[in-house]
Every structure is written in C-alpha cells, then in structure tokens.
Chain A
Amino acid sequence: MVEKVNKGEPILKINDIILDFSTEEGTVKALDDVSLTVKKGEIHGLIGETGCGKSVTSLTTLGLLDDNAIIRGGEVFYRGEDLLEMSEKELRKNVRGNEISMIFQNPSTSLNPVYTAGEQVKESIVLYQSDDDDESQRLVLDELDRVKLPDPEEVYKKYPHELSGGMMQRVMIAMMLACNSNLLIADEPTTALDVSIQAQFLKVLEELKEKEELSILYITHDMAVISEICDKVTVMYGGQIAETAEVHDIFNNPRHPYTNGLIHSVPGVKKDVKEFETIPGTVPRLINPPSGCRFHPRCEYAQEICKEERPPLERIGKEHLVACHFWEEVE
C-alpha cells in the first residue's frame, strides 16, 4: 500500500457505489449511489434498519459479496488504491487481514468449531507476524491479553463451543488484529451479547482506537451503541445514504426526516411509550424500490419533486451531509 495516512485523514473513501443482486424474483437494487468516508483513528457508525444495505456496503469493500452481486459503478479508495479494481488474488494478498479485517454478528458461528481458539489466532500470527512455533505461541497469548481475555492460557486450548459469547467475540478481535490491520469493520458485533458484556466490549474497542489509532467502521441498528462510541455517523435507508454527520448533530440536529423519525422512536430518547413517535408504512422491498428518494412514500414532508428526483448528498455543514430536498423544514 503506497500512501501513508496520519490521524484525521481519510483512510477509506467509498464513492457512489451502485450495486444490484440478481435473484429469481428479479434484480434487487441493493445500493443506490452510496458514499462514505472513514478517517484514520475514527469510529464511524453506519446505522439503518434490516435490508438498508449497511452490511452489503462493508462486504463490497472487502470483496466478500455473494456471486449474484453485480457492481454497476463507484469506487472504494483505501490509502489511495481502488479496491474494486483489484483482482481477487491482490485483494487477498495485500488487503484482507493485513489492511482491513472484519468481525461479524454471532461469534458462535464466526469461529471454526473444529479448531481451538488458540490455533485460529495462531493462523493469523503465522501469516503476518512470525512462523516460528514458540514465538507465535507467545504472540497469540499477547493478542488474547490485548483484548483483555481473563486467563489466556486456558482460552488458548478451548474449542469455541466451550467459550461464552463475550469471550468468543474477543477471540474474534484478537484473531483479526493479529493481522496488524489498520481498519476494522465490525458488523453488529454486540447484538448477540449481554448488556454488561457489550459495555466491556465497547471499552476494548475504544481503547484500541485511542492507543493504536485503529479506524473502525461500526455497523449496527442500535442507536444507543452509536451514541456510545461513534465519532461520526452515517444513516442508511433502502440502500441509499440519508445523512452523515458528527454524532452530536445526528442526535441534536437531525436534518433528514428518516433520521428524525428514527431518533424519536428509540426508547430512552422518549421516556414513556405514549410519547413514542412512529414512522408509518414498512421498509420498501428493493426489487422495485420507490422512485427518487426511496423514503418518500413514508415521509410527511414529501412532495412531487421527491418522487421524480433523487436528492443529492448535499454538504450543509462542516461535517454534515444530507440527502433531502426539504432538509430545512425538518423539526
């Protein structure tokens, strides 16, 4: 990788990705002009409901999409190189693992059930750090320690089905970070974890960001987790980017009607169920998505123009972008 990136500069720039899936029922227009930038040493939250395309965006970056995916356009710049241009071999050799790594939602299925936790972390060490047997064993124990796993010797010998959800998720992180990656994509890592374990897990992520300038793209549907650890947030709806802003702007000054509706339907923002706001209608099926802005069928501010013309991602503040024709009127 050619470009050296220092803190605060963009490490990952996703520009205008258009992606479809060809399925038996028809073509699913999964991503429609998706753009997103992650800066070095930043935790960037990507939030949206089921089927909004947040996981598809992350899989596009690493080229882990299913075979029925068709990328129609767009680029993914990582430290100056366009990952979409890279061949499978190049991606595998130079990007996956030693530059970008990924952890998934349920830890119990993300680890191979027939190898012990230690063996799976050692696999990354041997690939990227050292293939000498004793040294790699020692490095594995360091990695397990780095993610604050109690009693690493014990965990080393255990099979995944003998570990708890929280411990498995940490082994996942250790396994990925052992590849010295600079960008970690976390796809709903705490959804399957208990509140107390989730809190500890988020602390580990924060420390990795502070101490080792690790950039993280954090994908979730949980607004509370977003407010907990993210610096910047991108909201997606129906395969389109609705809004991107600093975490405070998203919560205190949401400019997109969908973000606004979402925030006010989250328990905790409103203390009593009677005050909950709801967004009418249901998430659109992306086989024949609504024209123009895909939120218009459910939007109270929608007018004719919203049906015809897809609103561009407009910069309305230093770090604040929104895709809505009537963002001024949202309150």
Chain B
Amino acid sequence: MKIREYIESKRARFIVTRIVKSIPVFFLASIIIFLIMHLSPGDPAEIMLGAGATEEAIESIQQRLGLDQPLYRQYLNYMSGVFQGDWGVSIRYNQPVLELIRTRMPLTLLLMGSGLIISVIMGITMGVLGALNPNSIFDYSSTVMALFWRSIPSFWLGILFLYVFALEFGWFPIGGWQGPISLVLPMMVIGLRLQAIIARLTRSQMLDVLTKDYIKSAKTKGLKRKAVIIKHGLRNALIPVVTVIALRVPWLFGGAVITETVFAYPGMGSMLVRGVLSRDFPLVQGIVLVICISAIIANLIADVSYTYIDPRIDIDSQRKG
C-alpha cells in the first residue's frame, strides 16, 4: 500500500507546516493586541480609575500592573503570565480575567456553534437548490433575500426580533439566560446572516462546477441526474465553501459581540463591550486574545479538513472570501 503511506506522510507534513506557520501568527497577534491596549493617549491607570481617582490609587494600579516598566518588559511579563494561567485581574469585576472568560466563554461558543450549524445547513441547501434551477423565480428571490440578509445590520435585526417575537408575541424571554430558549433569537440573528453568505457562495461554486468537463463525462456515462450533481458536483463545489466558512469563524465572534449586547445574553461578547466601555484593559486584552486563539485554531482545523476533502494537497489552496 505504498500510495496510502505516501499520502499520509504528505498530509502529516502539510499539517505540521500549517501548525508551525500559525505560531508566528499567534505571537504577532498578541503583540498587536498588546500595542493597541497601550495605544491610548492618556495614562492607562488614570483612564481605568476614572477622573476622581486619588494619587495613591493611581500609584498602586501602576505598581500592580507594572505600567511603569518599559513596554517590551510589560509584554514579556504579560505573556509569561498568559502561559501560567495568570491573565491579570479585571478592574471592573475584580476577578481574575481567565476565570471570567472560563465561565462566560461556553455560552458564546454555544451561540456561535448553533448559529454556524443552522447557517451551514440552510446555506448549502439554498445554494444547491438555487444552482439547480438557475434564473428561476426561486433562484432570483433567494438571491435578493441573500443580499437582504447580508445588508441588514445585525443589531437592528436583533432589535426587530426582540420587538416582534419577545415583546409583541412574548414567545421568547426579553434577555438574560433562562435555558436554551433564550438561545433561539440570537442564534437566528447570526445564522440568517451567515447562511446568506454561504448560500450565495455555494450557488456560484455549484454553477461553476456544473460547467466543468468531468460533469459532462459523468452525464455521458448515463449517471442519474442526482448522482451527477451530488456525488460529482457537490463534493468539488464544497471545497472552497469549507475554506470560506473557516475564514468566517472569527467573524462569528463579531456577530456574537453585537447579538449578545442586544439580547443581554451573558456571554463573553457582551462582557467585552462592557470591558471596552469601562476601559477595563486587562479584561479586554484577555478576551481579544482568546478570540484570536480560537480563530487561529479554526483556520487550522479548516486547512486540515481541506486535506481530507481535496486530494490535491500540495496545490496550495488559494484562500477565497
């Protein structure tokens, strides 16, 4: 079985290079976050404690956070802290940042995960159906709808859903977390928007693949229309779709931040907004770093899954989207 080992070794090599490549990306990201936090014009300690803070309070904050040391030293302390689980203490909540994240993150991941699943299922079905009967009424209307879902700001959509489904109809709780029921509306807000993007991409990829020669060969072999489209067409069409979905994972966090704020959903996203508004630098820094790590991991998983879908591993895939 020479071929199998050869492919496995090629895939292993591809994965290792991808991991090695994402390490500098992680450090570069952490440096950028760190710099941004220290970008602010005023003295961070003053800004964090607000105008009325006494001299001593400011002094102690600067001592505690080591703000008086040169930037690169602060960064190194911070990073060594990160690896030992000490991500600093939130000013506003007066709890370790890592603790806050650990309690809030699962809710955000749950929201993002459900939003992703819905959008993938709806998106791909709508996309394939649109491609199968192009220029039909269905195709035309789903294209316009897809553009509509991409154009509506998610915060307004959230407010509309809140107003109609929670206030008027009362089907769903206004905010906070009363079990999975309060997941539905925010999930729909994220899902609808992403499914529009996936649907349009799947449709254009399917249309492109259906013009390829190997589809003509499949037809010539007398295969049923369904076999030609699903077995030969869909698999090739989905390769770039997987790439785009992976690229959209970081975007999901963005969506979560806004949707959680609108629905007062107790996830990491709404906490980030409160952190930014109250200039709670350690908390903001921690959350953004976590988001960045999960995005890098998501990209990694996408590239690895890519090698299973598309046997042409060594052709470096042109990332789309």
Contact = CB atoms under 8 A, between A and B. Distances in A.
B168 interface: no
Given A92-B224, A114-B309, A161-B312, A109 B212 contact: yes
Contacts, number: 77
B42 interface: no
Task: Specify the main secondary structure of chain B where it touches its partner.
Answer: helix
A79 B61 CA distance: 93
B138 interface: no
Interface string B280-321: 000000000000000000000000000001111001000000
A267 interface: no
Interface in A82-102: 88, 92-93, 95-98, 101-102
Interface in B233-252: 235-236, 239
A330 interface: no
A96 B235 contact: no
B219 A114 contact: no
Contacts of B84: none
Contacts of B225: 88, 92
Contact of B217 (A98, A127, A175): A175
Interface of A: 62, 64, 88, 92-93, 95-98, 101-104, 106, 109-114, 123-124, 127-128, 157-159, 161, 172, 175-176, 179
A109 B213 contact: yes
A127 B214 contact: no
Given A113-B312, A114-B235, A175 B216 contact: no
B3 interface: yes
Interface of B: 3, 212-214, 216-225, 232, 235-236, 239, 309-312, 315
B318 to A, nearest CB: 15
Given A110-B217, A114-B235, A114-B310, 12 more contacts: A92-B224, A101-B220, A102-B220, A109-B213, A110-B213, A110-B216, A112-B236, A114-B239, A124-B221, A127-B223, A128-B222, A158-B3
Contact of B222 (A98, A106, A158, A161): A98
Given A93-B222, A98-B222, A127-B221, A64 B216 contact: yes
B223 A123 contact: yes
Contacts of B239: 114
A98 B222 CA distance: 8
A161 B10 CA distance: 15
B214 A109 contact: yes
A122 B1 CA distance: 19
A104 B213 contact: yes
B96 to A, nearest CB: 48
Nearest to A94: B222
Contacts of A88: 225
26 contacts: A92-B223, A92-B224, A92-B225, A95-B222, A96-B220, A96-B221, A96-B222, A97-B221, A101-B221, A104-B213, A104-B216, A109-B212, A109-B213, A110-B217, A111-B217, A112-B232, A112-B236, A113-B310, A114-B236, A114-B310, A127-B222, A128-B222, A157-B3, A161-B311, A175-B217, A175-B221
B153 to A, nearest CB: 36
Contacts of A95: 222
Q: Which 9 A-B pairs have the closest CB atoms?
A: A97-B222, A96-B222, A109-B213, A112-B214, A110-B213, A102-B220, A157-B3, A97-B221, A159-B311
Contacts of B312: 113, 159, 161
Contacts of B315: 161
A187 to B, nearest CB: 10
A104 B215 CA distance: 12
A102 B213 CA distance: 11
Contacts of B3: 157-158
B253 to A, nearest CB: 32
A160 B190 CA distance: 40
